[in-house]
Amino acid sequence: MKILVAIKQVPERDAQIHVAADGKWIDESDLNYTINEPDAYALEEALQLKEKNGGEVVVVCAGPERVTSTLREALAKGADRAIHIEADDLGERDTLGVAQILADAMKAESPDLILTGLQSDDLGLGQTGVVLAELLGMPHATLIMHVEVTGSGLKVKRELEDGWFQHVEMPLPALLTIQSGGNKLRYATLMGIKKAKTKETKTVTPSAAAGAQAIALERVYLPEKQKKTEMLTGSPAEVAAKIVEKLKFEVRVI
């Protein structure tokens, strides 16, 4: 089974975010980047499927030169090959534009299965996978916690709201977006990191230049507070005493 995993590189969660001078995106100069966490779960699912069923895991990432570090990390965890879609203009592409360049790079690979995270930690639009499936004419299912290969295709477990789940059977080739928590993430081993150096990373250029977008991000800004927050300051003991005062006289739970 040939499994492609679409991964994205995003700013680290702890990163201090500053709005760029033009107010249209964030200041990227001091940021550290990492793999989008939901995509790490997609990679984990792919590696486990390969361990059970054999085959090949290929990671695919679109972005500038820096994304190769994320691809190397995926190779160190056990992916067999990597494809880097070299694109410095992702900010000028919306979901459809990004999904198109992913679709073009993936079509050539004729995968049995495509996995990706359910959403990205930066834009969080939560739809690249579904759009990609639509462009490739594949069936898809989202928020997947478990994947089982059956004789005729796949049986997956979808997460629904309120603690409900559902099994869905589907034919291959197919695309799944993976929810966190179904598996434990693995770390790259020293051996894995060594091996990664010998693995193939293919660089491709996007088939099309960024064109007209369907939606545009006009402005980014700090959210306004929904509540007036009273900040409590002082030493830990002082803060604790202030909280207890609030709990006694205002919140009234003590």
Partner 1 sequence: MSGVLVVLEQRAGTWNKMSFEALAAGQQLAAELGVGLSAAVVGEGLQALGGWSSSGKVDAAYAVEHALLKEYTADGYVAALEQLVKKVAPAYVVFPHTYQVRDFAPALATRFWQVLISDVVAIHDGPVFVRQLLQGKLNADYKQTGAGPCFVSVQAGSFRAAEAEVAVAMETFAPALEASQIRNKPGELFRESAQTVDLSVAPVIVSVGRGIGEQENIGLVEELAAALGAELAASRPICDNGWLPMERQVGSSGQTVSPKLYLAVGISGAIQHLVGMKGSKAVIAINKDENAPIFEVADYGVVGDLFEVVPALTKAVREAKG
Nearer to partner 1, 205 or 213 (CB): 213
Rounded CA-CA distance 8/38 in Å is 9
Residue 86 Cβ, how far from partner 1 at the closest point, in Å? 23
Would you state the structure tokens that stand for residue 205, as one six-digit string?
């250029």
Candidate residues 21, 30, 219, 249; the one interacting with partner 1 per rule CB under 8 A: 219
Q: Is 170 in the site for partner 1 (CB under 8 A)?
A: yes
Q: How far apart are CB 191 and partner 1 at their closest, in Å? A: 25
Among 140, 178, 196, 206, binds partner 1 (CB under 8 A): 140
Which residues are CB-neighbours of 118 under 8 A, at least 6 positions away? 38, 126, 129, 142, 143, 177, 178, 179
| In the complex, minimum distance from the CB of residue 165 to partner 1, in angstroms, rounded to a whole number | 6
**For partner 1, the closer CB: 145 or 193:** 145
Inter-residue contact 25 to 217 (CB < 8 Å): yes
| Residue 88 zone, left/alpha/beta (φ > 0; ψ -120 to 50; rest) | alpha
By CB under 8 A, residue 114 contacts partner 1: no
Q: Give the Cα separation of 122 and 134 in Å (integer).
A: 23
Q: Which residue has the tokens 């197919």?
A: 174
Q: Which of 135, 149, 193, 204 binds partner 1 (CB under 8 A)?
A: 135
What mask, x for binding partner 1 by CB under 8 A, covers residues 22 to 61? ----x-----------------------------------
Nearer to partner 1 by C-beta: 56 or 122?
122
Does 188 sit near partner 1 (CB under 8 A)?
Answer: no
* 244 scored as a contact of partner 1 (CB under 8 A): yes
- Residue tagged 């691809």 (tokens): 71
Contact 117, 36 (CB under 8 A): yes
Close Cβ partners of 69 (under 8 Å, ≥ 6 residues apart)? 9, 33
